[in-house]
């Protein structure tokens, strides 16, 4: 006999012995259990070991510039880095001065902040492209805290007042309003930086994944509306206190309308002229950015022209325009934070720390994917943390990555963070030489620069219809976060956005449904009968899939959905039978009693004759908790009493372990040794069962 025929006959004999009722089995690997003490000892020893190689690796990981600077390709990269650093530095000069206004700080401190942040991130950051410095949303949050603390400390709301107040600080100064505002901002920045470094030490960089793009976008847009509203008073030249508390946006607009009669015409005309120049020129920059090697710094041109006009026209003396005032040169000696303020601003600092880190990591990962390299979220946490801690001693305020400047940096040929050092050199030149020249610059011009840079966030309102078509749930998260941030409270908007996102994720598991599956011909392919045509169901066997984990929050929904799709609820069926039995016992007439019993039996058998086995596809079930295991046990027990077998198929190892620990199996019968790795095996096993109403052999 030929070898092929011998092999065929052997294979046929094996198949005959095996039969369709014996599923294919995989032998599980025996997992070696290591005592937790040994695991802990090993990890502690690894972390605490000290060697020259470990010290070197620790330094390289902590200061990434040590790793990439020796490999810097000077000839290929220096031109792009120098160009991008120069352009970003030029753009940062007017923006740093402008955003100081938003943070309730003097202009010089915005320049300090951008200078120190550029240097520190160059040393510690892992992204090659992002620009770290002043960011509008964080400036708004800082300004709100500063204004609140100034009010609590008893300073007058008018920013021109210089009332002196004793401040309990280690340095013991007597501060005017400006000095105390700087102290509050620096302490807030220090505390936020400490939070970020602690989160880095605890390796919690993963928290950024819980802040979705729709949440961050909605938060930024809502904050942008608040920023826009806060700058209108400078447009009009009004001296109004910043409104605190919930609903500040609406209250601010009411206050603005009440005080329109006090508008400074000089500031209003200047604001309109600057808007008429900056808005079209910004649009031209955006439209022709592909053709331009670098964006034209129209903001700087406007600042220079407005400063000259204000100086020679004597706008402050003649028309009472509010100007930037004296901007000193050089650096001030370092100063410790005011430790007594930390309890007051600890909660605010935490929200600022989360926002700053989330924005920085989101931007760094976005540009890393675009250019094909990796960033370390935990190292980014360290980097942005020290960008806040160290500058806080030099009276700086909170920083993070900024999208607009990062896009400019990338589009002008940036290759590494050497461009950040070039930006720092530009700012250093301004700090040492040029800063006093901006004395006559009107604050309304700075407000116009802030508002014009909000265009990108405000354009999101035009994208709402497209967002709704793409994903309605994300749009709802965006709308709720935006509305809460703008109309209620900025910090509360972030918290509400996180909670809404979490409830939406939870809601998706709550809205999951049991789907009845059919087989596609002879293939081992089972899909939803309601979604595809031509699928076939097996006689006496129903296959269902639940597309979510089964846990305490949705176990009741799982059972309800399963019973509804099967068409037979064990609890209701048993209750119906008990009711009929009670009615039969109350009948005295023998013939009536026999007739009623026959009707009940016929109804019950009609429901079960078409179904003897229920197969549950557990492939989408990622995990089970105790409530989930108990739900499956209840389903099995309920159908067992009605003579319906329940089989579980395609369970992952985590689910199998949960079932074993939860006592789902009957250990005496050894059912746990049978596992259905495919739906075809489960269906074949179900069809081979001899009795339709026998015992419920539940297997995995």
> Which range has highest mean pLDDT (337-341, 607-611, 683-687)?
337-341
Residue 372: per-residue pLDDT: 85
Residue 195: per-residue pLDDT: 93
Q: What is the mean pLDDT of the chain?
A: 80
| Range of lowest pLDDT (58-62, 548-552, 608-612) | 608-612
Residue 323 has phi, psi (to 5 degrees) of: -115, 170
If you count them, how many residues does the chain have?
Answer: 700
Residue 608: per-residue pLDDT: 46
| Range of lowest pLDDT (354-358, 637-641, 696-700) | 696-700
Residue 205: per-residue pLDDT: 61
User: Average pLDDT in the 250-276 region?
Assistant: 90
Q: Across the chain, which distance is largest between two alpha carbons, in Å?
A: 116
Mention every residue, 6+ apart, whose C-beta is less than 8 A from residue 229.
Answer: 249, 252, 253
H-helix or E-strand spanning residue 544: strand 540-546
d(CA 500, CA 108): 40
Please identify which residue in the block is written with the tokens 């020290």: 386
Residue 511: per-residue pLDDT: 75
The encoded tokens of residue 523 equal: 């293939």
Residue 153: per-residue pLDDT: 83
The bridge status of strand 611-617 relative to strand 540-546 is parallel
Residue 192: per-residue pLDDT: 94
Q: Which residue has the higher pLDDT, 417 or 166?
A: 417
Please identify which residue in the block is written with the tokens 């105790």: 626
Residue 587: per-residue pLDDT: 67
CB distance 191 to 342 below 8 Å: yes
Residue 31: per-residue pLDDT: 65
Q: What letter does residue 31 receive in the DSSP assignment?
A: P
Residue 405 has phi, psi (to 5 degrees) of: -70, -30
The domains of the chain, with CATH numbers, are: 66-507 (no CATH), 512-583+604-693 (3.30.750.24)
pLDDT in tens, 320-340: 888 888 888 888 888 899 899
| Range of lowest pLDDT (250-259, 418-427, 518-527) | 518-527
pLDDT in tens, 564-587: 888 888 888 877 877 787 777 776
d(CA 548, CA 554): 9
Q: Could you tell me what percent of the chain has a pLDDT over 90?
A: 13
Report whether pLDDT(602) > 80.
no
pLDDT in tens, 643-678: 888 888 888 888 888 888 888 876 665 554 467 888
d(CA 261, CA 464): 36
Residue 691: per-residue pLDDT: 46
User: Average pLDDT in the 285-299 region?
Assistant: 76
Residue 20: per-residue pLDDT: 47
pLDDT in tens, 9-25: 434 444 444 444 666 66
| Range of lowest pLDDT (38-42, 93-97, 430-434, 616-620) | 38-42
d(CA 587, CA 475): 62
CB distance 348 to 147 below 8 Å: no
> Which range has highest mean pLDDT (20-34, 287-301, 510-524, 544-558)?
544-558
Mention every residue, 6+ apart, whose C-beta is less than 8 A from residue 490.
Answer: 137, 140, 141, 144, 222, 223, 226
pLDDT in tens, 117-164: 999 999 999 999 898 988 888 988 898 899 888 888 887 665 444 455
d(CA 510, CA 496): 20
User: Average pLDDT in the 241-249 region?
Assistant: 79
Q: Which of 226, 220, 215 is nearest to 475 (CA)?
A: 215
d(CA 421, CA 514): 58
Q: Is 109 exposed, middle or buried (0-12, 13-18, 19+ CB in 10 A)?
A: buried
Report whether pLDDT(425) > 60.
yes
Q: How many CB atoms lie within 10 A of CB 246?
A: 12
Residue 496: per-residue pLDDT: 87
Residue 186: per-residue pLDDT: 94
pLDDT in tens, 611-650: 788 888 888 888 888 888 999 988 888 888 888 888 888 8
Report whether pLDDT(169) > 50.
no
> Which range has highest mean pLDDT (1-10, 89-98, 114-123, 521-530)?
114-123
Helix ranges restricted to H, 372-442: 377-392, 403-411, 418-429
Q: How confident is the model at residue 191 (pLDDT cuts 50, 70, 90)?
A: very high
């Amino acid at each position: 006999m030929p070898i092929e025929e011998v092999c065929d006959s052997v294979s046929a004999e094996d198949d005959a012995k095996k039969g369709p009722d014996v599923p294919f089995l995989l032998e599980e690997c025996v997992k070696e259990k290591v005592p937790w003490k040994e695991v802990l000892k090993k990890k502690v020893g690894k972390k605490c070991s000290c060697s020259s190689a470990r010290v070197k690796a620790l330094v390289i990981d902590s200061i990434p510039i040590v790793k990439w600077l020796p490999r810097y390709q000077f000839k290929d990269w220096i031109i792009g880095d120098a160009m991008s650093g120069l352009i970003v530095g030029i753009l940062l000069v007017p923006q740093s001065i402008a955003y100081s206004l938003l943070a309730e700080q003097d202009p010089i401190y915005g320049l300090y902040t951008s200078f120190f942040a550029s240097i520190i991130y160059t040393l510690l950051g892992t992204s090659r492209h992002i620009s770290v410095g002043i960011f509008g949303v964080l400036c708004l949050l800082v300004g709100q805290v500063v204004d609140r603390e100034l009010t609590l400390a008893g300073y007058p709301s008018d920013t021109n007042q210089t009332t002196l107040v004793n401040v309990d600080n280690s340095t013991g100064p007597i501060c005017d309003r400006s000095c105390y505002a700087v102290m509050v901002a620096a302490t807030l920045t220090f505390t936020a930086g400490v939070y970020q470094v602690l989160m880095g030490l605890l390796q919690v960089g993963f928290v950024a994944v819980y802040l979705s793009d729709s949440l961050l976008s909605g938060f930024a847009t809502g904050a942008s509306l608040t920023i826009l509203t806060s700058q209108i008073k400078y447009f009009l030249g009004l001296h109004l206190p910043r409104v605190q508390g919930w609903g500040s946006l609406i209250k601010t607009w009411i206050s603005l309308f009440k005080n329109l009669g006090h508008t400074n015409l000089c500031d209003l005309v200047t604001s309109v002229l600057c808007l008429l120049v900056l808005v079209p020129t910004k649009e031209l920059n955006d439209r022709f950015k592909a053709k331009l090697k670098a964006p034209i710094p129209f903001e700087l041109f406007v600042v220079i022209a407005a400063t000259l006009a204000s100086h020679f026209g004597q706008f402050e003396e003649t028309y009472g325009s509010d100007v930037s005032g004296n901007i000193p040169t050089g650096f001030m000696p370092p100063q410790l934070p005011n430790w007594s303020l930390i309890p007051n601003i600890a909660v605010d600092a935490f929200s600022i720390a989360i926002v700053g880190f989330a924005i920085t990591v989101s931007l760094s990962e976005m540009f890393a994917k675009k250019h094909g390299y990796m960033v370390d979220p935990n190292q980014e946490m360290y980097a942005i943390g020290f960008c806040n801690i160290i500058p806080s001693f030099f009276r700086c305020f909170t920083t993070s990555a900024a999208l607009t400047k990062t896009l400019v940096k990338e589009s002008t040929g940036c290759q590494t963070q050497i461009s950040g050092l070039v930006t720092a050199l530009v700012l250093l030149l301004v700090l040492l030489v040029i800063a006093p020249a901006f004395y006559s610059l009107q604050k309304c011009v700075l407000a116009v620069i802030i508002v014009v840079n909000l265009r990108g966030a405000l354009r999101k309102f035009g994208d709402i219809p497209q967002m709704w078509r793409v994903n309605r749930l994300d749009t709802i998260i965006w709308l709720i976060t935006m509305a809460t941030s703008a109309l209620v409270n900025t910090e509360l908007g972030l918290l509400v956005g996180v909670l809404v996102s979490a409830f939406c994720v939870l809601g998706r598991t709550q809205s999951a449904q049991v789907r009845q599956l059919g087989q596609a011909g002879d293939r081992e392919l089972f899909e939803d009968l309601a979604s595809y045509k031509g699928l076939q169901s097996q006689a006496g066997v129903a296959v269902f899939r639940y597309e979510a984990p089964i846990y305490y929050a949705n176990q009741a929904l799982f059972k309800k959905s399963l019973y509804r799709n099967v068409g037979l609820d064990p609890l209701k069926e048993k209750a119906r039978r008990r009711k009929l039995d009670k009615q039969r016992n109350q009948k005295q007439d023998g013939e009536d009693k026999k007739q009623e019993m026959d009707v009940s039996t016929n109804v019950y058998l009609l429901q079960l004759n078409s179904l003897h086995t229920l197969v549950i596809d557990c492939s989408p079930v990622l995990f089970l908790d105790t409530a989930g295991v108990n739900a499956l046990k209840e389903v099995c027990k309920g159908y067992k009493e009605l003579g319906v077998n329940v089989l579980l198929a395609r369970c992952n190892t985590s689910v199998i372990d949960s079932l074993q620990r939860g006592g789902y199996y009957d250990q005496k019968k050894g059912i746990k040794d049978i596992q259905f790795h495919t739906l075809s095996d489960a269906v074949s096993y179900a069809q081979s069962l001899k009795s339709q109403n026998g015992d419920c052999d539940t297997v995995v």
